[in-house]
Amino acid sequence: MHHPAADIALQVRGLRKAYQDVVAVDGLDLEVFSGECFGLLGPNGAGKTTTIEICEGLNTADAGEVIVLGRAWNRDDRELRQRLGISLQETQFSEKLTVEETVQLFRSFYRAGPSSGEVIAMVQLGEKAKSRVGGLSGGQKQRLALACALVGDPELLFLDEPTTGLDPQSRRQLWGVIEGLKSAGRSILLTTHYMEEAERLCDRVAIVDHGKMIALGTPRELIAALRAEHVLEFALADSAVVDEVPLLGIEGICASARRDGTYRLQVQELHLAMPALLGELRRQGAQLAELRTHSATLEDVFVSLTGRHLRDE
């Protein structure tokens, strides 16, 4: 993919940021194209929030260059603020105000944009417009945060962990809202540590770990790079151990790893590999205690790249 500069909503080059003793971001390069939803996926502490806050102009980098909508922070702040929509991690709005009053307040900061009623409808909070913020559920509060990010009709939207801490139903509802925004042609940069979220919402995903990008591509490309459509996990009774070499000889099994007594195989043609695997385990005299299989996900991409799970930390 080659994009001319005008189509790049956000460009980050060689970004570095260290706090007292930790390097949070360690030489990161990113490009978000106009109209795409770009995801930063990584475990907690990977440097996602630091990165997005530097892009939002709320934090300063030690080194590197950030160009937002063709402009730079500290030079064009006033204009940039008008054109960006931002939802931070864990903002608590004033509990004494109603949803409508909160949105009106934020709307009053922008020169142009939809009416507060329209924005509230956009995030499906119409019924709650007159309720106090203090009485909203977690999902409703997140949608309010999204509404406040949308009041200026932003060209580029930053969403930092928009669904963290929500129950699955609220999360799906919020995804629906974000999908609606995508189809309206906005550029979005979102961070998340939920692989389902990245898979469902993002056109492209950068996987970050310890402040570095370790993979970049569409979710489909990243999963395809595993060269395995399925992941098969099994554990043996009495934490017994098997010889992995013959397992890798089975047709369709591309990789094997053992962690905490659980074997994890990347498998291409499950229907062929499975009977052969069971045969081999029987030959080695191993007793199965557990057997699971699922289609490969971004989580598996992360595990195969780092040997850790996204939510371990």
Binding residues for another protein, rule: CB under 8 A, are: 56-58, 78, 81-82, 84, 86, 88, 90-94, 96-97, 101, 104-106, 108-111, 148, 152
Amino acid identity, position 240: A
State which residue, 158 or 194, has the beta carbon closest to another protein: 158
Query: Letter for the amino acid at 50?
Result: T
- By beta-carbon proximity to another protein, the closer residue of 13 and 81 is 81
Nearer to another protein, 88 or 224 (CB): 88
Q: At closest approach, how far in Å is the CB of 71 from another protein?
A: 14
Cα separation, 194 vs 294, in Å, equals 17
Closest approach of Cβ 99 to another protein, in Å?
13
Residue 280: CB minimum distance to another protein, A: 55
Distance of CA 139 to the CA centre of its chain: 17
Least spacing, CB of residue 86 vs another protein, in Å: 4
Residue 218: which residues within 8 A CB-CB, separation 6 or more? 203, 204, 205
**Residue 104 CB burial class (10 angstroms; 0-12, 13-18, ≥19):** middle
CB 274 within 8 A of CB 265: no
> Which letter does DSSP use for residue 237 in this model?
G
Residue 59 C-beta: closest distance to another protein, Å: 9
The residue (of 96 and 282) whose beta carbon lies closer to another protein is: 96
| Residue 197 identity (one-letter amino acid) | E
Q: How far is the CB of 27 from another protein (least distance, A)?
A: 25
Collapsing DSSP states into helix, strand and coil, what is residue 2?
coil
Nearer to another protein, 29 or 118 (CB): 118
Which residue lies nearer to another protein by CB, 94 or 115? 94
* Cα–Cα distance measured from residue 121 to residue 53, given in angstroms and rounded to the nearest whole number: 28
Taking the C-alpha atoms of residue 113 and residue 110, their distance in angstroms, rounded to an integer, is 7
* Cβ closest to another protein, residue 131 vs residue 262: 131
Which segments of 56-194 does DSSP mark as H helices, in order?
77-83, 99-107, 116-122, 138-150, 168-183
Minimum distance from residue 257 beta carbon to another protein (Å): 40
Nearer to another protein, 91 or 218 (CB): 91
How far is 174 from 202, CA to CA, in rounded Å? Answer: 14
CA angle 8, 160, 225 (to 5 degrees): 65
Rounded least distance, CB 300 to another protein, Å: 34
Which pair of tokens denotes residue 170?
A: 């609220």
Helix/strand/coil for 281: helix
Q: Which is nearer to another protein, 86 or 267 (CB)?
A: 86
Radius of gyration for the alpha carbons in the chain, expressed in angstroms and rounded = 23
- Shortest Cβ distance from residue 82 to another protein (Å)? 5
Give the count of beta carbons closer than 10 Å to the beta carbon of residue 242.
18
